[in-house]
Amino acid sequence: MHANTRKLVVAAMMTALACVATMIIKIPSPVKGYINLGDCIVLLCGWLLSPVWGFWAAGLGSALADVLSGYVIYGPATFLIKGLMALVAHYGYALLKAKCGSLTSKILSGIAAEMVMLVGYFLFAGMLYGFGPAVLNIPANAVQGIAGIMIGIILSQFFEKSKTTIPQEEKR
């Protein structure tokens, strides 16, 4: 398969997975949001894809889930937040892997990416509903983040074994 076609196919698959994982389980959070499993795929987009493809797959898949689930107002913010999460996961993993090993670098880059999510949604909800009520979503988002890191690490093992990643030489 041609390298560009492979990139497109893998990114499209990750976009669809981000959308489905976000939509499959939705637990309402206190301030008009919801807890979901999409973060594990967002992190995978960062760890397995190039920065550009990871940003677009994570952002678009997650934003589509919001729009299709009736959370249209969150769509643009979700696109940016989840795309940035994938970038942070990608660069954090790339910078730390040689020093800390694969697992530790995934944990640390996952924590950094989830901090982007916590701050991003706190600021967005704060602008919409006030910062007092937005604080109520922090624990729910933190639980989502922890689950995303744990499940993402487990899933990354399967994706890496199946060679679903885009090889390093193709990322540039």
Q: Write down the pLDDT at residue 90.
A: 98
Indicate the pTM of the whole model: 0.91
% the chain with pLDDT above 70:
94
20-37 core/surface letters (b: 16 or more CB in 10 A; e: else): ebbbeebeebebebbbbb
pLDDT over 90 (residue 74): yes
Residues 6+ apart with CB under 8 A from 80: 59, 120
Q: Write down the pLDDT at residue 170.
A: 45
> What dihedral angle (degrees, nearest 10) is formed by the CA atoms of 106, 112, 114, 120?
-150
The residue that leads in pLDDT, 6 or 129, is: 129
CB 77 within 8 A of CB 121: yes
How far is the CA of 14 from the CAs of 9, 11, 28, 43, 46, in angstroms?
Answer: 9, 5, 24, 11, 10
pLDDT over 70 (residue 165): no
Give the confidence band of 3 by pLDDT, cuts at 50, 70, 90.
confident
